[in-house]
């Protein structure tokens, strides 16, 4: 008789319940929100690509004009022997010494 007095481990009434179709509706709403987020990210990515293309196209003429200016400006020629002979010694001296060199020579040891 004591074997029949074991407690039963069945379901108890807790007062909580889930409405009929709750999980199906929850999954449907969750999938809709995920789809909205994915579409938003795709839309942002497309706008980013379009903006970068517009930026590149807008800067292209500027880059071309800069490269054309560099090609039109000839590089300075090196001094030839005749041009060096034309310069007197003072001009050579002042053209090779910068103001910083003069400052360092006169004031750096103070």
What single string gives the DSSP state of each residue in 5-74? GPPP------S----TTHHHHHHHHHHHHHHHHHHHHHHHHHHHHHHHHHHHHHHHHHHHHHHHHHHHSP
DSSP state of 90: H
Q: Which pLDDT value is given to residue 76?
A: 56
- Phi and psi torsions of 87, nearest 5°: -80, 140
pTM (2 d.p.): 0.37
| pLDDT of the chain, 110 residues: tens digit per residue | 555 666 666 666 777 788 888 899 999 999 988 888 888 888 899 999 999 999 999 999 888 888 887 766 655 555 555 555 566 666 666 667 777 777 777 777 65
Q: Which pLDDT value is given to residue 46?
A: 92
Q: Which pLDDT value is given to residue 80?
A: 53
């Amino acid at each position: 008789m004591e074997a029949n007095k074991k407690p039963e481990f069945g379901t108890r009434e807790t007062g909580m319940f889930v409405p009929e179709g709750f999980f199906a509706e929850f999954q449907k709403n969750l999938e809709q929100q995920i789809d909205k987020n994915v579409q938003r990210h795709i839309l942002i990515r497309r706008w980013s690509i379009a903006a970068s293309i517009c930026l590149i196209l807008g800067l292209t003429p500027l880059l071309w004009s800069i490269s054309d200016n560099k090609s039109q400006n000839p590089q300075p020629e090196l001094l030839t022997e005749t041009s060096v002979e034309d310069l007197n010694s003072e001009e050579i001296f002042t053209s090779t010494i910068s103001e910083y060199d003069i400052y360092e020579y006169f004031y750096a040891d103070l």
